[in-house]
Amino acid sequence: MELDELIAYARNRYAIEEQHKWQEFPGFSVLSHPQTGKWIALLMRQWDTESGREIQRCDLKCGAEVLQRRPRAYLSRAVRMRGKNWIDITFDDRTEREVVYPLFDRAVEAAKPLSAAIEDFLSRILDRVNGPERPRGYTVDVSAPSTGNGYRDTALPPPGSVRRTGGERVPQRLREMRRLYEYGRETPEGRARNFYRQAVFMADYEDVLPWEGEFSRYFPTYHDMDTRQLRGYFTWRTQLRRGEARPISTSAAYLYVYELLNGVGADTPEECLQRLEEFDRLFLESGVGDVLMRPNLRRWMAEFAILHDLPAETVRRYTDPAQSGKDQALAALHSPENHTDAEIFSALCELSGKKLETSPVLAADPERGRALFAACWRRAASYSRGGRRLFGLCFGRRTQRRWYPMANAVYYDRSGRQDREYVLNECRVYRCRGGLWQTSAYEMRPANKPLLRGFLHETEALLRRYLGAGRPLKEKEEDAWAIPYINAAIEADRQAQKEKARRVVTIDLSGLDRIRADAIRTRNSLLVGEETEEAEERPVLPTEGKGPVIPTAPEKPVIPTMPEKPVIPTVPETPADGPLDAVQARILRALLAGEDPAPILKGEHLMPSLVADAINEALFEEIGDTVLLCEDERLLLVDDYTEDLRQILGG
C-alpha cells in the first residue's frame, strides 16, 4: 500500500485534503479534521539515497492501544508526534489496506466535535431502547398480537380514525433482506459484498411510502438506513425508474448509482450505462439532485465500461475531457502517419503551449500552414538520439501506475480480477495482472518541453523565411538538428506547388471554328478608333467546308481618363513602439533598464499575469515566442529576446 492511497481515501470518504504547511520541508504534510481542524495524521516522505527509493510514513492519531490489539510489522510508536494516542505506519508492500483504513476511521471519529460525539452516543442509546427496526409512528400496544419478544407493536392511527392492531410493522421483504447481512465483514470488500447480496434480493422491490428527513453517510449501504428510510428510498427508486425524479438526500441517491454499478437494475452493462445517463439527466441535470455528484458519476461510468470491456468510444464518452484531449494529442504525434494534418497541428498546439494559430505562417493560407507544420513533424519523427526517437525524447517512456477502479464506490468485483488488458488508445493501456490493475500511459514532464518548443521555434523560423511571412526569427544553435527535416518538408511543398501550377490544356479539334471566332471577337474588342474600322474592312476567310464566320461588332471601348497629377497615397506613420501601447512600452523599458515595474502596474491597476499575456500576444508576430514571464507576481524578461525588444522600442 502507498501513502497516496490513504490520501485518496481521506479525500473521497471524508473530504479531507492534504495540507502542505512547510515550504522548507516539502516532504511533510498533514491531514486535519474538516470540522475541528485538529491534526489526524502527519505524512512524511523521504528519499533514501542508499536504497534508491522513497520512504513513506504516517503518524496517525488513532490510539496507541491498537499496537497491542493489532500487532503488525509496519505499525510502531509515533516517529515525530508526541502523545499516547499517536502511532506510526510504514507504507510498503506489507501494509494492509483493511487494517489502515479502519484505523484512519478511528482517528476521524476521535477528532469529531464534542456535540457530534454526544449526538451519536444518544442515537445509539435510542436505537438500543427502541430497537433497530422500530420505525417512527409505532407504539407499544398490549392488545396487539405478540411479536415473540414480549412486546406488541401497532401503528399510530391518523387523527380521527380508529387504531388498527395486528398490522405488520416492517414489510416482510425488508425483514428478509436484513437477514442476508453477514456480520463480521467490516472491511470495504465485506461491506460491498453484503450490499451486492441485498441489492440483488431487492432489485424488483417497490414501495409507496414517500421519502422524509435526512440521511448522510460516506459509502452508504442499506445497512446504514432504518426501516423508514429504506421504505422512502425504495419508493423514490420506483418513481425514478418510471421517469419521475423527486428530491432525496444525496447519500440515498448514491445507493441507486451503486446498484447500477454492481449490475443491479439492468440486464446488460450497456443498459446499466443507459440508466446511469438517465439518472444524470433526470436527477442531476434537471436541478433536482446535487450536481456535485457528476464528476464521480462520469468517472465511475468510464471505469465501469473498462471493467466490462466495452468499446473505447464508450469509455471516451465519459472520460475527463482534459485527459481525453491529451491522449488524443499524444496519439497523433506518436503515429503521425495515421492522423490528419489538422490533428497533428492541434496536438502540437496543445502539448507545446505555443499559440501557433496566430503565427504569420497561417495568415495567408491557414490550411497550407497547418499542413506544413504537420509535414515537418512527420519528417522529424524519425530523428533519434541515444536510441530514442523524437516522440520518446519529448514525452518520455510509458509510465506504469497502479489503478484503482471504483476506488470510492461501494462496488463488489465478481470477476475475480482475471489477467486481461484493455487498450483505450495508442498511448493509454489498462492491465490486470495477479488481481492488481495498472495503467500504462505517457506523462509529459517539464524537462521534455524545451525540446518540443525548440523544434517548433526552428520550424516557424524556416517557414516564415520560405513563405515570406512575418518578421524573421533568430535560429538557435541547439535546435539545428531539426533543420534538415524542416528543409525536406519545405522542398516537398515547393515541388507540390510547382506541380499544382502546371496547367494541362486539352484542345478539342472539333471546336476549331468556335475558337477562331472567339479569337476574332477578342481581337476586335481590343481595337479602338481607326484600328476598329480597318479591321472591319478586312474579309473573313471561310473555313474549309463551311461558310464564313461573321464576327459581331465590338462594343465601343471605354478609355479611362488619367488624373492631371498622380495621387500619392498617404501611409500612416508606424508608432515607435510597434504593436505595443504606451503602458506596455513603459513596462518593458523599465525591465530593460533593470527597474521594478511594480509602481507602473499599481498606478495603472494592472495584474502582472495579465500584462505578461497581453505583451506576449502583442509581440508574437514580431518575435514568435514568449518574451515575458510572470513568476510569483513578478515580471521577468526572457534573456534571448532583450536585444529584439530594444530594437522594437527604438534602441
Opening angle at CA 574, ends 635 and 626, nearest 5: 25
Q: Nearest Cα to 591, choosing from 576, 581, 601, 603?
A: 601
**Dihedral sign of CA atoms 65, 68, 70, 74 in order:** positive
Using a 10 angstrom Cβ sphere, with 0-12 exposed, 13-18 middle and 19 or more buried, the burial of residue 454 is middle
CA distance 516 to 510: 12
Here the cell at position 92 is 510498503
SS3 of residue 381 by DSSP: coil
CA distance 260 to 51: 46
The DSSP secondary structure of 312-338, one letter per residue, reads HHHHHHHS-HHHHHHHHHHHHHHSGGG
Is the Cβ–Cβ distance between 626 and 638 less than 8 Å?
yes
On whether the pTM is more than 0.75, the answer is no
Give the pLDDT confidence score for residue 140 in this predicted structure.
Answer: 33
Q: For residue 308, list its beta bridge partners.
A: none
CA distance 327 to 43: 32
Average pLDDT per consecutive 10 residues, the chain (651 residues; last block may be shorter): 88 83 82 85 83 85 83 86 88 88 88 61 51 38 36 37 43 91 80 94 94 90 93 96 94 96 94 96 93 94 95 92 87 90 91 84 89 94 87 86 90 84 90 90 70 90 88 84 92 88 60 70 62 49 47 49 44 55 89 89 85 84 80 82 82 64
Q: What torsion do the CA atoms of 45, 72, 60, 112 make, to the nearest 10 degrees?
A: 150
Is the Cβ–Cβ distance between 352 and 449 less than 8 Å?
yes
Give the pLDDT confidence score for residue 507 in this predicted structure.
Answer: 55
Give the pLDDT confidence score for residue 314 in this predicted structure.
Answer: 94
- Phi first, then psi, for residue 421 (nearest 5°) are -140, 140
- Phi first, then psi, for residue 57 (nearest 5°) are -135, 165
Cβ density class 23-55: b for 16+ within 10 Å, e for less: eeeeeebbbbbeeeeebbbbbbbeeeeeeeeee
- Crossing angle of helices 97-110 and 3-14, in 10° steps, is 50
- Phi first, then psi, for residue 607 (nearest 5°) are -95, 135
CA distance 428 to 328: 10
Is the Cβ–Cβ distance between 152 and 141 less than 8 Å?
yes
Find the radius of gyration of the CA atoms of the chain.
38
CA distance 114 to 238: 39
Here the cell at position 294 is 457528476
Opening angle at CA 29, ends 24 and 35, nearest 5: 130
The pairing of strands 28-32 and 634-637 is: unpaired
Give the pLDDT confidence score for residue 289 in this predicted structure.
Answer: 92
